Chains A and B, each alone.
Chain A
């Protein structure tokens, strides 16, 4: 067995996740002015606090942190009117990156030393997921820009797609539910 240093992965991942969350929380503030900006700043601070907590201390805060960060972005998008925000794929990829880094920080135990291939493979998966999320977001925005009938048709397609995605998740989750070994 080699004798490397004590594991620092949890702290590094937690700090990286907090930095990403800070960027996600701060970016929407630049798009608004006035009293809304002040209100959003409070929301951003709450989001950052939750995000840092989720990444560094309590893993259970991940869902609220994501929800607050998305809520902040939603306010900016809705406030923007009919113009499609081209930065949405970046926000989606950033959210995924934050969530993955925060999860990594929680799963890496300080007393368990990860071998280098484990860390490399995990970093590769996170990077690939982020890039894929970016591409997927861009694809969705492009698809949204294609004229496809009236508003009702597009809504029907959207409802069908969302329902199909969630149904697929439920089916797969049931198929892979927790099983105790026999005996």
Chain B
């Protein structure tokens, strides 16, 4: 631990020396009697100062949690010598909240320090005593967090010295958004060859009736439609649509995050991506992810529970990384965007690079559905006439952009603040049906 003398030592020594000198020069024992306690306290404090040899450890009770869950950070403290006062200060990352939620409402007082907050308590430790402080933190926002950034400051009995130590043995916690229950999803225009839950446009073995055709050698007798055969006088067989899986790529535009008091566009995008991934994987589809921003991350489409965890882990690391470098989808590995895959883009349509990437995807023939996460609600209310005009112009520009996408064959729906994701997906599906992109 780093030892530091407090300001008391020079103050007490200086005043005591001055008064002793005055007492000697004036020959007044009263002044010696006044100065002596200060000098004796410093001598006693210096003689008794011992390094507390503090052992500290930080643990977190879980590695994964959902938004709204509580994680407990435990600080295990042990001192070789008695510590009269030990200040324990835990740095609470933004997105997490300490015990009582407000200043002064708990035993650990929060203190604002930029974006982060701290929780602190002062305790006393006897020699050899082992003490555990449990600090419950509530997860308020999704993300990957490092907990366990702890500052310790020990004081001696007379407060002449402090011993300081910083613990940076971080414990990681991933907080996932609570997935929304989605009953209907965006259906793909084309499917893959593997079996799944989507009724394919092709004809083959399946359940859903597609058409009738004349019997051909090799057809199974159970496919014969006897009613149609009786009506037409020749053998007719049923044709069906097979049930197939699809590849879904969630395209997350993370170039910019428009943040307001009610939340942010990136928060909503990540929450929606987690819900969509969970829902599509439940339907036995393969789901991939492209987090397209200043820092590009991707996951090739996969299926099953392992893919869900991989995807959520990647989503948790999504953040806005400011860069002016131009990025296009040509930077992505080809297998990230398989042919015939459905691309669901979650974007606020505010960064030119994200907008251009979607045009590029359309030009390459991908089946694209765009959920435009409206940043207008997060931009705050218009303050005056000019603000209102600027907001209207911005809204018009965004509408024009959406029309351009629609003309090129993409379904685009604006996701306003108060709308549920399910409602948005139904609107996307309706839009695709109107454009002839989705099976009716």
A residues whose Cβ falls under 8 Å from a Cβ of B: 1-7, 59-60, 62-63, 66-67, 70, 73-74, 77-78, 84-85, 88-89, 91-93, 95-96, 99, 103-104, 107, 109-115, 117-118, 121-122, 125, 129, 132-133, 136-138, 140-141, 143-144, 151, 155, 158-159, 162, 165-166, 168-169, 172-173, 175-181
Of B1, B47, B109, the contact of A7 (CB 8 Å cutoff)? B109
19 additional A-B pairs beyond A67-B18, A181-B2, beta carbons within 8 Å, are: A1-B134, A1-B136, A63-B14, A70-B22, A88-B29, A88-B34, A92-B35, A92-B37, A95-B34, A99-B38, A111-B120, A133-B40, A133-B41, A137-B36, A151-B27, A155-B27, A166-B13, A176-B5, A176-B161
Bound-state CA distance A74–B23 (Å) is 9
Q: Complex: how many Å from CA A158 to CA B26? A: 12
Bound-complex Cα distance A91 to B133 (A)? 42
Q: Contact between B34 and A84 (Cβ–Cβ < 8 Å)?
A: no
In angstroms, Cα B42 to Cα A179, docked, is 19
**Are B84 and A132 interface neighbours, CB within 8 A?**
no
A109–B46 contact, CB under 8 A? no
B67 lies within 8 A of chain A by Cβ: no
- Tell me the smallest distance from the CB of B299 to a CB of chain A, in Å: 40
Please determine whether A125 and B157 come into contact, CB atoms closer than 8 angstroms: yes
| Stretch of B98-106, B276-284, B307-315 that contacts chain A | B98-106
Contact A103 B159 (CB under 8 A): yes
Within 8 Å CB of B47, what residues of A? Answer: 172
Q: Is the CB of A112 within 8 A of B12?
A: no
**B35 / chain A contacts, CB cutoff of 8 Å:** 70, 92
Contact (Cβ within 8 A) B105 A3: yes
A-B contact pairs, 28 of them (CB 8 A): A59-B7, A63-B14, A70-B22, A91-B30, A91-B34, A92-B37, A96-B38, A99-B11, A112-B87, A113-B108, A113-B120, A118-B84, A118-B122, A125-B84, A125-B157, A133-B41, A136-B40, A137-B37, A140-B33, A144-B29, A144-B32, A169-B13, A169-B43, A169-B46, A172-B43, A172-B47, A173-B9, A179-B2
Cβ B4 vs Cβ A178 within 8 A: yes
Give the residues in chain A near B157, CB-CB below 8 Å.
125
State whether A113 touches B109 (Cβ < 8 A): yes
Q: Which 10 A-B residue pairs are closest in the complex by CB-CB distance? A: A6-B104, A133-B37, A144-B29, A172-B46, A88-B30, A137-B33, A111-B109, A92-B34, A88-B33, A112-B120
Bound form: Cα–Cα A91–B20 in Å = 15
Contact A165–B43 (Cβ < 8 Å)? yes
- Whether the Cβ atoms of A6 and B109 lie closer than 8 Å is yes
Alpha-carbon distance between A64 and B423 when the two chains are bound, in angstroms? 71
Does residue B235 face the partner (Cβ distance < 8 Å to A)?
no
Q: Complex Cα distance A181/B85, Å?
A: 21
Alpha-carbon separation in the docked complex, A105 to B326 (Å): 56
Docked-complex contact B124 and A118, CB < 8 angstroms: yes
Contact A136 B36 (CB under 8 A): yes
Given the complex of chains A and B, what is the CA–CA distance between A41 and B100 in angstroms? 49
Contact present for A115 and B37 (CB under 8 Å): no
Give the B interface residue count (CB, 8 A): 75
Residue in A7, A111, A112, A141 whose CB lies within 8 Å of B30: A141
Interface flags, B194-238, vs A, CB<8A=1, else 0: 000000000000000000000000000000000000000000000
A158 nearest CB neighbor, chain B only: B24
Judge whether B173 is part of the interface by a CB distance below 8 angstroms: no
Which one of B42, B84, B110, B122 has the greatest number of beta carbons of chain A within 10 Å? B122
Q: Are A3 and B11 in contact (CB under 8 A)?
A: no
Contact A121 B124 (CB under 8 A): yes
| B interface residue numbers (CB < 8 A to A) | 1-24, 26-43, 46-47, 49, 84-85, 87, 89, 99-100, 103-111, 118, 120-124, 133-136, 155, 157-159, 161
CA distance A3 to B100 in the complex (A): 7
B134 nearest in chain A by CB position: A1
Q: B10 contacts which chain A residues (CB < 8 A)?
A: 63
Question: Closest CB-CB distance, B58 to chain A, in whole Å?
Answer: 16
Chain A residues within 8 Å of B5, by CB: 173, 176-178
Q: Is the CB of B120 within 8 A of A179?
A: no
Q: Is the CB of A118 within 8 A of B123?
A: yes
**CB <8 Å contact, B106 and A1:** yes
Which residues of chain B are within 8 angstroms of A129 by Cβ–Cβ distance? 37, 41, 158
- Pairwise interchain contact B123-A115, C-beta atoms closer than 8 A: yes
A73 touches B34 (CB 8 A): yes
Chain A residues whose CB sits within 8 angstroms of the CB of B34 once the complex forms: 70, 73, 88, 91-92, 95, 137
The listed residue with most B CB atoms (<10 A of its CB), out of A104, A141, A144, A176, is A176
Q: Are B33 and A110 in contact (CB under 8 A)?
A: no
A143 to B32, CA, bound (A): 11
- The interface residues of chain B lying within 8 Å CB-to-CB of A74 are 19, 22, 26, 28, 31
B19 contact from A2, A70, A107, A140, Cβ within 8 A: A70
Give the Cβ gap from B410 to chain A, nearest Cβ, in Å.
Answer: 52
**Closest residue of chain B to A151, judged by CB?**
B27
Residues of chain B lying within 8 A (CB to CB) of residue A88: 29-31, 33-34
CB neighbours of A107 from chain B (8 A) = 6, 155, 159
A99–B39 CA distance with the chains assembled, in angstroms: 13
A29 to B369, alpha carbons, bound, how many Å? 87
Chain B residues with Cβ under 8 A from A151's Cβ? 27
A131, chain B: closest CB distance, angstroms: 10
- CB atoms of A115 and B124 under 8 A apart: yes
The CA-CA distance from A183 to B123 in the complex, in Å, is 28
Residue of B nearest to A78 (CB): B26
Cα distance A6–B109 in the bound complex, in angstroms: 7
* B429 → A minimal CB distance (Å): 49
Specify which chain B residues have a CB less than 8 angstroms from the CB of A175 in the assembled complex. Answer: 46
Interface contact B121-A5, CB-CB below 8 Å? no
Query: How far is B32's CA from A140's CA once the two chains are assembled, in angstroms?
Result: 8
